[in-house]
Chain A
Amino acid sequence: MKQFKGRPVVAGECTAEALVSHGGFNTLASFQNALQFGDMPLIGDKNKETKCGDQNNADLYNKPMAGKALCLPQTIGSTTGGMVLYCATEMRRNPKCMLFSEHIDSLACAGAVLGAVWAEEAMTVVDCLGDEFLAYVKDGMEISVAMDGTVTVK
């Protein structure tokens, strides 16, 4: 077990299984297919687990993201990113929390804050957890997040 202290961007408490992206997380590329077509008859792939659709992310491609503790350095890509995260949050298809090793980027921050102010239920977001956090955490580990931004990895 190891603890890491970060900064709560959207404070909250939760426990979830870790899902780790060591490279930048491309929000649009990761969510677009699952959010749009996940439950569409005939052409959808019953993707209610919100499987990552980013072909460039070898860590996450095709892995379910909903309900996970998504551990990442930062998000990258299209400036629709924050809006996509907001939609995922409102649709309850979001990760349970997003844990950033680095300072949160402007797009992810927008999604986090939009969720906190406008959505029915906000997603917990912690940043500045450090490189050691991302080096230590592995897919499937149990993660607990406290209100003050302390992240416990088991």
Chain B
Amino acid sequence: MDYKMNLTQEELDILNGSKGETMAKVMKTLVLYGDAFDATKMVSVTSEKGHLVTSFGLKVMKPVYDLMAQLIEGGALSAQKFSVDPKPLDPKVPANFLQKLIFNKFMYSMQDMYDGQLNKLGLIDNNSYTCTCYMDEVGNVPKKGEILSWAESSAVVYANSVLGARCNRNSGIIELFGSILGKVPYFGLLTDEGRKATWVIEVKTTKKPEAQILGSAIGMKVMEDVPYIKGLDKWIGTELDGDTKAYLKDFGAATASNGAVGLYHIENLTPEAVESGADLITENAQVYVIDDAELARVQANYPVMWKDKDATPKLCFVGCPHLSHAQLIEWTDKVAEGLKNNGLKKVSIPTVFTAAPGVIEEFEKTPYAAKLKETGVVLSYICPLMYMNNPLCKSMPVITNSNKLRTYTTSRYYRSDEILDIITKEAK
């Protein structure tokens, strides 16, 4: 094969089949992939653990399972343990008879088989299904400067921006190949040059902007470019504490799903912005000013995909990406207080909060777990996106405060304060 990248003798040997035909194909894929971006070389993956995006045993993904079977048969297993995105099913989450039938018999009939494949390939353990693997309770937290082979857009943008690790926006399968080989092509967000900002975002709002809408506005504007955000530290501070990290988690997920952002810098807050400041901004960077009116315009333009736009919501999801421990506590308090103020005992709309299994485990040890249960909210490890990813949900009025879920499904977006208001008041 023709390639441009400089390969070491060992890499060349693998490409020529020294470790078998399957590993040669894995190497060939990564070399062609890197060549398309003028990668100069392969570099070692230096993080302890990987993260995969594909957690769902969808029947339709047979080509992926066939490929995984080839990898296992060819001995091309992951050189590092990995976590993986959330499971698509949880019996605790409300579903009617037809939905259950379709989920279990048609859509996710390959789930057990695929879970088995993931275990053979290198899954950490059965608690490692979450999109927020970087939570302390989960334990897949890369260090600043480490090279990752991850996918899951919200996790990649978080690892790059908040933790200062280095990872390209890899696709599913490609991220596994990097973990198998222990190497990834050197380009894009792995390089100093690729981490410079080509956009300056000036936040000029009169109050703290909703993370999910701010991220959406920026994502739709800059697409895959790197933004340097000024004026946000005024609202979220200059310390990466629990609340700020949770804000950035939701903000980043919206930039990545409404656009294709893999890295952002926030003045005086994120590690590289603190370290290098405005030196991160390229010459001739474009400018995007965001004020209250711009955020209102962005939210007003979200299409409502419900057949009956005035329908009473039948389900509410909060936690895409999965909620942090601190967010679970905050939501629990707010829901309990809202219900009390409105003279209700249970939420008026079936509501599901989602979080990583490790986060749920820790939350269950606190008094807040019982308090949340009393409100009628279901706490689950499920992936709301995968739950909604079927035609039956098309006609189901689901509400969410997640811009990512809104983007990929027919769910309707509301700000968090609106969601709280809806679920704690008597249903219409």
Contact = CB atoms under 8 A, between A and B. Distances in A.
B37 A109 contact: yes
A74 B259 CA distance: 11
B28 A117 contact: yes
A133 to B, nearest CB: 18
Nearest to A29: B408
Contacts of A33: 391
A63 B378 CA distance: 38
A32 B107 CA distance: 12
Given A32-B389, A56-B407, A113-B29, A106 B169 contact: yes
A119 B63 contact: yes
Contacts of A137: none
B375 to A, nearest CB: 31
A68 B54 CA distance: 27
28 contacts: A28-B408, A32-B389, A43-B391, A55-B303, A55-B305, A76-B223, A76-B260, A77-B260, A77-B407, A78-B53, A79-B152, A79-B169, A79-B171, A80-B171, A80-B172, A83-B54, A83-B171, A83-B172, A83-B173, A86-B63, A86-B64, A109-B33, A110-B173, A110-B174, A113-B36, A117-B25, A117-B29, A118-B29
Contact of A24 (B156, B169, B260): B260
Contacts of B54: 80, 83
Contacts of B257: 77-78
Contacts of B153: 77-79
Contacts of B170: 79, 106, 110
B410 interface: yes
B293 interface: no
Contacts of B32: 113, 116-117
A26 interface: yes
B106 interface: yes
Contact of A80 (B25, B53, B223, B305): B53
Interface string B285-300: 0000000000000000
Nearest to A10: B32
A147 interface: no
Interface of B: 25, 28-29, 32-33, 36-37, 53-54, 58, 60-64, 67, 102, 106-107, 151-153, 156, 168-175, 188, 223-224, 257, 259-260, 303, 305, 389-392, 407-408, 410
A79 B172 contact: yes
Interface residues of A, number: 46
A2 B74 CA distance: 47
Contacts of B224: 74, 76, 105
Question: Ordered nearest first, which 7 A-B pairs have the shortest CB separation?
Answer: A82-B171, A110-B171, A83-B172, A90-B63, A79-B151, A76-B260, A110-B174
A125 B392 CA distance: 34
Contacts of B171: 79-83, 106-107, 110-111, 114
Contacts of B102: 43
A23 to B, nearest CB: 9
Contacts of A107: 169, 171, 260
B391 A9 contact: no
Given A74-B223, A79-B171, 16 more contacts: A35-B60, A37-B391, A45-B391, A55-B303, A55-B410, A76-B224, A79-B169, A81-B172, A82-B171, A82-B174, A86-B173, A106-B169, A113-B29, A113-B36, A117-B25, A127-B36
A104 interface: yes
Contacts of A86: 63-64, 173
Interface string A53-80: 0011000000000000000001111111
Contacts of A113: 29, 32-33, 36
Contacts of B173: 82-83, 86, 110, 114
Contacts of B151: 79-80
B29 A114 contact: yes
Contacts of A37: 390-391
A42 B142 CA distance: 46
A26 to B, nearest CB: 7
B29 A105 contact: no
Nearest to B219: A76
Contacts of A112: 36
A134 to B, nearest CB: 14
